Amino acid sequence: MLHSHDHQKKPTISRIISQFVQKNRILFLILAVLLFLLPLGYLVVQQIDEKSKNDATTRLYELEKKYEEYSAKKDGEDAVKAKEEFLAYMQDTISGFNGRSAEYRAREIIADMNLEEIAKEDTANKAELLKETLKEYLIIIEKAPEFALMPKFVLVTGRMIEGLPARAEKEGTDKIEISVQDLKTVLPAQFQKLGDVEVETYSDFALSLYLYSSEKQPKSPFILETLVNIGRLYEKREMREKAIEVYEKLERDFSNNDWTNIAINRRIALQAKE
């Protein structure tokens, strides 16, 4: 009897399943199509991404060629036109290759061009050009914390910021004044604090950048100079223990190089004052 009873249940279950499939056949059809399309979609996305990378690499190569061509023309009769055309090409690169190496290289070239103008005696708007230069570097630093050259731009930007007081004391056309308040309009908010403390000096702005770089890329080829700068600016803030800690890290993790030798000498000098 038990066997007969079980046998009677099986058709009932089959009927239930069959009815469910019939009622939801459109849903099952959609799922089947999706399962078929997902791998195809993945391949399409991969191909698009690969094409994007190839396009960005090609653009980077073209950008360098255009830069060479512009450099050959920048002191000629058509210098103004050549500069306008090249800058338009660079802006097109920045907008069209957002987040790619081509964008970062274009921004670096714009910064270099600004610095060339600043070096000329007859340039009138040097403070604005210097702020624009800082902006270009800071955009790269903030947008691309994993970009291999980000720590390099941090060092360049930090040195420029630290050098602002000296620039303000120069005479004639070499004099460039950018106040701390002006600098705050250029620097992203994350670089305007050390911990919870608002930054109010040029050296502290630079310190915030160096700390950012050391945290984001602790194994960068630029980490040695970055750490020495951090220790030096801790000293300037009279934070002796923190400076010694940074110098000891250099001794422990990076031996036998000039930067570590600087760190050892600074640590010995600081500990001698105890």
Q: In this structure, what is the dihedral angle of CA atoms 34, 40, 46, 47, given to the nearest 10 degrees? A: -140
Domain identity same for 125 and 229: no
Instruction: Report the DSSP pairing between strands 193-194 and 197-198.
Output: antiparallel
Tell whether 120 is covered by a domain: yes
Digit-coded pLDDT (tens) for 154-184: 999 999 999 999 999 998 888 999 999 999 9
Question: In this predicted structure, what is the pLDDT of residue 230?
Answer: 98
Structure tokens at 163: 């050098």
Digit-coded pLDDT (tens) for 63-107: 999 999 999 988 877 888 999 999 999 999 999 999 999 999 999
Tell whether 213 is covered by a domain: yes
Tell whether 50 is covered by a domain: no
Digit-coded pLDDT (tens) for 207-266: 999 999 999 999 999 999 999 999 999 999 999 999 999 999 999 999 889 999 999 999
Question: In this predicted structure, what is the pLDDT of residue 145?
Answer: 95
Tell whether 226 is covered by a domain: yes
Domain identity same for 212 and 251: no
Tell whether 152 is covered by a domain: yes
Q: Residue 271: pLDDT above 50?
A: yes
How many domains does the structure of the chain reveal? 2
Tell whether 165 is covered by a domain: yes
Domain identity same for 235 and 165: no
Distance, in Å, from the CA atom of 134 to the CA atom of 224, rounded to the nearest integer, reads 23
Distance, in Å, from the CA atom of 9 to the CA atom of 207, rounded to the nearest integer, reads 78
State the distance between the two ends of the chain, measured CA to CA, in whole angstroms: 97
Tell whether 23 is covered by a domain: no
Question: In this predicted structure, what is the pLDDT of residue 17?
Answer: 66
Domain identity same for 156 and 255: no
Tell whether 5 is covered by a domain: no
Domain that holds residue 205: 58-217
Digit-coded pLDDT (tens) for 217-230: 999 999 999 999 99
Domain identity same for 211 and 229: no
Secondary structure of residue 4 in the 3-state scheme: helix
- Given 180, 201, 217, which residue is the final one in a domain? 217
Chain position carrying tokens 């604005």: 128
When the pLDDT of each residue in the chain is averaged and rounded to a whole number, the result is 87
- Given 217, 235, 259, which residue is the final one in a domain? 217
Domain identity same for 188 and 111: yes
Domain identity same for 262 and 200: no
Domain identity same for 247 and 135: no
- Given 169, 200, 217, which residue is the final one in a domain? 217
Question: In this predicted structure, what is the pLDDT of residue 33?
Answer: 75
Domain identity same for 239 and 255: yes
From residue 209, alpha-carbon distances to 29, 88, 154, 180 in Å are 56, 30, 6, 15
Domain identity same for 229 and 100: no
Digit-coded pLDDT (tens) for 24-34: 777 767 777 77
Domain identity same for 94 and 212: yes
Q: Residue 112: pLDDT above 60?
A: yes
Amino acid of residue 229: N
Domain identity same for 199 and 229: no
